[in-house]
Structure 1
Amino acid sequence: MFRVTRCVKRVLLLSVFSVLLSGCQSLSGSSGGLMGTGDLGLIVERASGSLLVINTTSHSVINRIEGLGDLSHASVVYSRDARYGFVFGRDGGLTKVDLLTQSIVGRVIQSGNSIGGAISQDGRFVAVSNYEPGGVKVFDSKTLELVADVPATYVRESGETAQSKTVGLVDAPGNRFVFSLFDAGQIWILDMPDDTTSSKPEVTRFDAGKAPYDSMITPDGRYYIAGLFGEDGLSMLDLWDTGAGVTEILPHYGKGEQQLPVYKMPHLEGWTVADGRAFVPAVGHHQVLVADMSDWSLVDKIPVQGQPVFVMASPDNRRIWVSFAHPKNDVVQVIDSQTRKIIRTLEPGKAVLHMEFTPRGEEVWVSSRDSNRVTVYNTRTLEPVAELDAIKPSGIFFSSRAHVLGL
């Protein structure tokens, strides 16, 4: 019988220790210590095709990831374990990055021009919304292999078949994706199969208003709401009762009523739903609209200093943070959600593009593209607590998004 000597035991132990040490190093940050992903995030550097991997607790930049192509209109979603970020670039690139190794682990050019994406409820699928050639493509989140190609085909009034730009792609409960067809004036639900051996996802189509340009889904996953560029109002689909079809809400909200040039269309993803009310950026007006979600009636108009783009609530819904379109885009205004009054006007820097709250809302990070920095504010005192250098920063995406519907 083979006898394990003391020397052999020592060699085996050293080998095991070496393997474990190697594994620890692969999960470490630039500081060399073990690190989870819960307080990490990605900041898009739009002009250089790069990402900053940041730590929200230490207010620090861990590393820069380069080689992501055109990030002039980029967004990020995360895997269930919050280790991997999926980056949707304007050049049609879908890039998978590893937050722990700060590296690209996969990249495909899946279209000519894409406008965002989403990850399914179970984390198996990543869907991308495309302008060119139109439609939605779905990929396996582990391998980035194509799972489904859904052309957004429709019939024009002339009888000609065409493909539509797709916008407003979100994930919904039940492993579904919902998106809008800008050219066709429709909303589609893409129902992904639970069985990986199934062939094609099921598509359900609904007529909507004219030229939906963006959308949002309510935090409970029930209502999908599309903003309309071609007419007043918005289109809403109740995902709990799709048999009712699409209904119109806020009929006096939209492009048709604008009194001022629209320099930048608001992002509906940045809508705030707080205390049974929706706080909505008014298109073409210096206002934040307040709607009662029980009947979607307009209950208030809050005057602000410019045309709002993002209207976002802190996680406790106590305060509403508003960013603005050019030319008055160097400030952020903070609104009290109960009194609906502006309590502070902040000046983070030139060309504010995005805001992101830490998971529990004690801080908010604000990117200022033309000042090449990100400013961190304490949401209680409304005072800056840190600044980070960044190259033309735009979108800020924390890994906590992995556990939030519709982001």
Structure 2
Amino acid sequence: MIKLLPLLALLFSFNAIAELRATGDLGIVIEREDGNALIINTTEHKRLAKIEKLGDLSHASVVFSRDQRYAYVFGRDGGLTKIDMLKDAIDKRIIQAGNSIGGAISQDGKLIAVSNYTPGGIKVFSSDTLELVADIPSDYGEGLRSKVVGLVDAPGQRFVFSLFDAGEIWMADFKNPKAPAIKKFPNIGKQPYDALMSPDGHYYIAGLFGEPGLALLDLWNLDAGVKHILSDYGKDDEKLPVYKMPHLEGWAVAGDYVFAPAIGQHKVLVIDKNTWELHDTISVAGQPVFVMARPDARQVWVNFAFPDNNQVQIIDVKDLSISKTLSPGKAVLHMEFTPRGEQVWVAVRDDNQLVVYDTETLQEITRLPANKPNGIFFSSRAHKIGL
């Protein structure tokens, strides 16, 4: 029996080594109807685990710790869940508000901020323990509190977010977490509904639902305040019903251009990043929801609101034209590129599938089962600004 102990120890050691897992090619897929999250491997196209009982994930988003081990899931019901992607388990879960719309992780990875509709404002937590660090209510006017949208991280240990009801942009500086400094930019336009941070952290752009145009904040020149851009675009056009609000964190910045969805129209706007004027418009198959650039910026992929949400179109950035229309299945909700862009994963909700495409050949590679998949989030996001 004694002689067997070294052999058993060796076998145990071998099994432990065989179960080791790297984090760079992991990802999270949200199964919205069941309130579950799948842990997937993007290189091997595998489902590794299912994490259950995460609450209302109808508008879920995810950020990652800088070591890519932990995923933080923001649920619509105010739930904040920290998932250990190496142990395939929930590390900690709290209910921090009544109605939440997303979140961000700080530049140093130590703080998690959550934007809330109810009660209105942002709450900031320790990424390690999920203990509350700061509560910033979005108060304005007399006894009023705004829904908060468009929360992103920014360089300098800051968070930037928009107040939907107040028509304001706020910046919270967390260099001193115990006493965050708040800078407010009022009168930025009616009903900012979402926002984009440029990949270099230079510009914060809020889309406006209540009036034409966009609100642009230059983080390198805060004293200049907020600039209105594209104020004249579409103001005289027929107002069409909006079936699904575009998601501005899915906007594409490619080279000298910003590619943005036109609200309620079958167009993608091409904005010159040097002048912030409209350069061109591209007619597409439906109302755009996500407009996302391949990491090398050569392609922009677009999906659409109902009733055209069975399609995906690819824009060739070189000549600003549609190069291909794909039909992945019923209700394409989200897309995510692998870190260097050789593949893209597509969530097809009503077919209960994840579809993987080769972005060079535009050929389908494989399909994986998922129950009503919604958002797809890869761990490479850990090292990107504004996601």
TM-score class normalised by the smaller sequence: over 0.9
Query: What do the CA deviations read for 1:37-61 (whole angstroms, capped 9, x no partner)?
Result: 1111000000000011100111110
Write the mapping of 1:167-182 to structure 2, written as runs, cut at 5 A.
167-182=149-164
Query: Aligned residue for 1:128?
Result: 114
Residue-by-residue CA offset, 1:118-151 (whole Å, 9 max, x unaligned) = 0000000000000000000000000000000000
Counting only pairs closer than 5 Å after superposition, residues 181-260 of structure 1 correspond to structure 2 as: 181-194=163-176, 199-207=178-186, 208-253=188-233, 257=237, 259-260=239-240
2:123 to 121, 137, 158: 137
Rounded to whole Å, the distance in 1 between the matches of 2:185 and 2:19 is 52
Contact 2:156 2:175 in 1 (8 A): no
How far, CA to CA, are the matches of 1:270 and 1:258 in structure 2? 25
Change beyond 3 A, Cα 1:102–1:304: same
Q: Once the two structures are superposed, what CA deviation does each residue of 1:176-198 show, in whole Å capped at 9, x if it has no partner? A: 0000000111000010025xxx6
CA contact (8 A) 1:214 1:227 kept: yes
Per the TM alignment, residue 256 of structure 1 is displaced from its structure 2 partner at its CA by 7.7
Listed as ranges, the matches of 1:224-373 within 5 Å are: 224-253=204-233, 257=237, 259-373=239-353
Q: Quick one: which of 53, 56, 73 aligns to 2:39?
A: 53
Paired-residue identity, %? 61
Query: Once the 2 structures are TM-superposed, how far is the Cα of residue 250 of structure 1 from its aligned partner?
Result: 1.3
**Local SS of the residue matching 1:309:** strand
Q: Which residue of 1 aligns with 2:94?
A: 108
For the pair 1:82 / 2:68, whether they are aligned, the reply is yes
Spell out structure 1 runs of 4+ moving beyond 4 A.
Answer: 253-258
Q: Which runs of 5+ in 1 are unaligned?
A: 1-6
| Alpha-carbon offset, residue 229 of structure 1 | 0.8
Aligned-partner Cα distance in 2 for 1:362–1:97: 27
Instruction: Confirm or deny: 8 A CA contact 1:125 1:141 kept in the other structure.
Output: yes
Matched residue, 1:162: 144
Encode CA deviations 1:267-307: one digit per residue, 9 max, x unaligned: 11111111211111111111111111111111111111111
Equivalent residues of 1:253, 1:282 under 8 A apart: no
Task: Give the CA deviation at 1:254.
Answer: 6.7
TM-score normalised by the chain length of structure 1: 0.91
Query: What is the CA–CA distance in structure 1 between the aligned matches of 2:79 and 2:235, rounded to whole Å?
Result: 31
Offset at residue 199 of structure 1 (A): 2.3
**What is the identity, as a one-letter code, of the residue corresponding to 1:149?**
D
Q: Report the Cα distance in structure 1 between the residues aligned to 2:299 and 2:239, rounded to whole angstroms.
A: 28
**C-alpha distance in 2 between matches for 1:101 and 1:218:** 34
Give the superposition deviation at 1:259. Answer: 3.3
SS of 1:265's equivalent in the other structure is coil
2:33 is aligned with 1:43: no
Residue 218 to residue 256, structure 1, CA distance change in 2 (3 Å):
farther
Q: TM-score by structure 2 length?
A: 0.95
1:328-347 deviations in Å (ceiling 9; x for gaps): 10000011101111111101
CA displacement at 1:21 relative to structure 2: 3.7
User: Given that residues 119 and 171 in structure 1 are in contact (C-alpha distance below 8 angstroms), is that contact kept between their aligned partners in structure 2?
Assistant: yes
Do the aligned residues in 2 keep the contact of 1:135 with 1:152 (CA within 8 Å)?
A: yes
Contact 2:353 2:373 in 1 (8 A): yes
8 Å CA contact 1:46–1:71 kept in 2: the answer is yes
Secondary structure of the residue aligned to 2:350 is: helix
Instruction: Kindly state the Cα deviation for residue 252 of structure 1 after the two structures are TM-superposed.
Output: 3.1
User: Could you tell me how far apart the structure 1 residues matched to 2:6 and 2:148 are?
Assistant: 56
Tell me if structure 2 keeps the 8 A contact 1:262–1:283. Answer: yes
Root-mean-square deviation (Å): 2.1
